[in-house]
Amino acid sequence: MIFEFCPKCKSRDLGYDGLKQFSCEQCGWVYFHNTAAAAGVLIQYGDKLLFIVRGKGPGKGRLDLPGGFVDPGESSEQTARREIREELGIELESLTYRGSYPNTYHYEGIVYSTCDTVFLARIEQLPNNWNKQEVQDIKLLRPSEVNPDDIAFESIRAAVADYIRNEQRPGGPAHEG
């Protein structure tokens, strides 16, 4: 539970609808714990995908796409570019929208529902000065080498699976002339 007491009147008479709405039966205060927006980037380097190894929880030590939460006033594209700059120290030329995926993000005892927007980008040079607190390491994997069990979040597993499925199909982007 996010709240033990009503932030307005301090009452313990809080109701929860089981999905996202908290309400105080004493003073009528209402809070909607809405889905948080996040953005990540599938980065292609030649025939490989660049994954980060998470330097922090949740999912510390597991594979992820570089990215993060959308700040107020930001678009998903702005978030993707900012996060790549902050985590990997590189600027992206272009982004291609790939899809959005629901996720559950457990952090500091709170469960956040997120909607993770995923983009595709290509790079010609590997990052060499990444944020060591956020990113433990980077891994380059061919699509056939990706083990979904090594990926930290369900949304990213789904995005990578969609990418692999679309890239491997006859006539897919990987097979275009």
> Which sequence spans correspond to the domains of the chain?
1-33, 36-175
Specify the amino acid at residue 46: G
ω before 148 within 30° of 0 (cis)? no
What confidence tier does 174 reach under pLDDT thresholds 50, 70, 90?
A: very low
Average pLDDT over the chain reads 92
pTM: 0.86
What confidence tier does 1 reach under pLDDT thresholds 50, 70, 90?
A: low
The reported pLDDT for the residue numbered 171 is 56
Q: What is the CATH number of domain 36-175?
A: 3.90.79.10
**pLDDT (average), residues 106-111:** 85
Cα separations in angstroms, 67 against 19, 39, 87: 26, 5, 8
- Spell out a b/e string for 15-49, using b for 16 or more CB atoms within 10 Å of the CB, else e: eeeeeeebbbeeeebebebeeebbbbbbbbbeebb
